[in-house]
């Protein structure tokens, strides 16, 4: 079942990319008491994700945070080392990277797709959500192949 507005984020362990290396964090702990803009992409270093999606949030990070968002986080079905390298290559210091290497989080929120025909296996759909103290306040899931409603500009217009 797909997560919806008003639902609580499921309890799952993610791998947070830190300056000291990968660090395990529970979703309960990560989202507790804060407003988080969570963005999911099919893959780090993939064309739309790298050319448009992440750069939009890097560019708009201050504006998003000025509207009361405590943290902006990106998640993808990649390991923490790939997510860390993507962050560095994209100058994305203002964005927290959450690796979902086994797609556990993507499966738990019901937002996966089969990327096997592209050699990618099971992946996260592209979406953005606003999570307030662990509860989904906004959810913007893209149609397959689209990039519109999960953009930084769209999320900003909804906050």
Catalytic residues: 49
Do the beta carbons of residue 131 and residue 9 sit within 8 Å? Answer: yes
Residues with Cβ < 8 Å from 140, sequence gap 6 or more? 127, 128, 129, 149, 150, 154, 155, 158
DSSP 78-111: S-HHHHHHHHHHTT-TTSEEEE-TTSHHHHHTT-
Do the beta carbons of residue 42 and residue 135 sit within 8 Å? Answer: no
Token pair 């149609």: residue: 143
Q: Where are the beta strands (DSSP E) in the chain?
A: 13-18, 21-26, 35-41, 71-76, 96-99, 112-114, 122-124, 127-132, 135-141
């Amino acid at each position: 079942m797909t997560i919806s507005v008003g639902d609580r984020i499921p309890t799952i362990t993610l791998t947070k990319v830190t300056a000291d290396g990968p660090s395990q964090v529970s979703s309960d702990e990560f989202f507790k008491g804060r407003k988080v803009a969570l963005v999911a992409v099919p893959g780090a270093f993939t064309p739309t994700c790298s050319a448009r999606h992440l750069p939009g949030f890097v560019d708009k990070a201050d504006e998003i945070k000025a509207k009361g968002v405590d943290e902006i986080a990106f998640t993808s079905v990649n390991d923490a080392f790939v997510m860390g390298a993507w962050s560095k290559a994209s100058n994305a210091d203002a964005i927290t990277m959450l690796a979902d290497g086994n797609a556990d989080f993507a499966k738990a929120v019901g937002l996966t797709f089969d990327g096997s025909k592209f050699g990618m296996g099971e992946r996260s759909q592209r979406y953005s959500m606003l999570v307030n103290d662990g509860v989904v306040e906004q959810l913007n899931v893209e149609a397959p192949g689209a990039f519109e409603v999960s953009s930084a500009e769209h999320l900003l217009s909804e906050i």
